[in-house]
Structure 1
Amino acid sequence: MSKKSERGTSGEPSAGQDGRIVPLGRELLLIQGEHSFLLVAKASSRFTLWIETPDDEYCQTVDPDDLIVVSMPEGGPVEQARMMLELVRRYHIPLVVLPKDHPGSKRLSMVVSVAPEILLACGIQRGTHPEQHLLCSSGEFSGVSLGGVPGGVAIQNLPPRTIVKHLNE
């Protein structure tokens, strides 16, 4: 997976024909649907993220333009998602991946991924995917693609009636 952004003919980042670039620095980006939301931030620094799986652990290098995305498929308090995001971004807390069919997956109100590009999908079990490019979401965000680009985030396949707004850090 390449960490280089696509460039349009003008030299500016391009999100493709059906996408857009939203400026993003240290603040947070709230992508709010009718029943769920995503909270997005840039990693803002280079660090090592440990990912703990049932059988192994591995480390992933996180670059400043990589994204940290918290998905709350049934909605809930944004402040809760903000705390989870900051545990990863600021304190580099390891991510824990549950085994497939683990009973605790049903009780996860939020899940998080860290990667240069993240694809949202509703047909996966929460908390069971060590591949950080894939994140469980509600059906309304299934198929949305988020990519970290210099100075912003590229968003593709955003559904209608979605609210995108910046939150102060």
Structure 2
Amino acid sequence: MDIDFNYDEILFLEGESGIVGVVKVAHDNKMLFIATQDNEEIVQFLEKDDIIAVSNFKKDKRAIRSQAYLTREEDSPIVILNKDHPSVKRLAQVLSVGEKVNLNCNIIPGTHPEQDVLCSCDSLSGLSIVKTSTGVKLNKNYENYTIERF
């Protein structure tokens, strides 16, 4: 299923107990800085049509917009916490950036450093979101979505 949207829009995939917001990286040759638990910094190079996906379990669109804005426009680094970090239990939202994002409800926070796996609610689990030049492609039909101004 293809869903088209512009760089100044955000796609919301709404689940029963959570929501995922998706925006496009709007700049060529963007760098994303990832702080690891080993006191290292990884640089991920992004292309213009890559996606930023933010998963939120409080269904708070404002929080999703804020996180997407900080990542896309303010170059805020992503911080990876290990599974034993006390703050992992309090994470209300998580994000993934790249050309493809796989939503999954059966992962343990802090155990998947791969950027293509994103924790989601059960009703969104199993969806794969792949960038296209005009929006995204989902691996299956999903009708509970909206597109809003970013």
Normalising by structure 2, what TM-score? 0.91
Distance in 2, Cα, partners of 1:25 & 1:127: 32
Picking from 42, 65, 68, the partner of 1:58 is: 42
Pairs aligned (count): 147
Distance in 2 separating the partners of 1:38 and 1:133: 14
Q: 1:107 to 1:158 in 2, by over 3 A?
A: farther
Match of 1:108 among 72, 87, 91: 91
- Find the residue that maps to 2:107 and give its secondary structure: coil
2:19 matched to 1:37?
Answer: yes
Residue 5 of structure 2 corresponds to residue 24 of structure 1: yes
Instruction: In structure 1, give the amino acid aligned to 2:149.
Output: N
Residue segments in structure 1 that go unaligned for 5+ positions in a row: 1-19
**Corresponding residue SS for 1:166:** strand
Is the Cα–Cα contact under 8 Å of residues 121 and 142 in structure 1 kept in the other structure?
Answer: yes
The DSSP-based 3-state class of the residue aligned with 2:129 is strand
Runs of at least 5 residues in structure 2 that lack an aligned partner in the other structure: none
| Aligned partner letter, 1:22 | I
Which structure is larger by alpha-carbon Rg, 1 or 2? Answer: 1
Name the % identity. Answer: 34
Q: Match of 1:42, as an amino acid? A: K
| Distance in 1 separating the partners of 2:25 and 2:93 | 18
Aligned pair 1:81/2:46, yes or no? no
Q: How does 1:5-24 map to 2 (within 5 A)?
A: 20-24=1-5
Residue 164 (structure 1) aligns with: 145
Question: Structure 1 108/158 Cα, relative in aligned 2: closer, same or farther at 3 Å?
Answer: farther
Q: Which of structure 1's runs of 4+ aligned residues deviate more than 2 A?
A: 125-130
Cα distance in 2 for partners of 1:140, 1:34 equals 6
TM-score in terms of structure 1 length: 0.81
Task: Select 2:121's aligned residue among 138, 146, 152.
Answer: 138
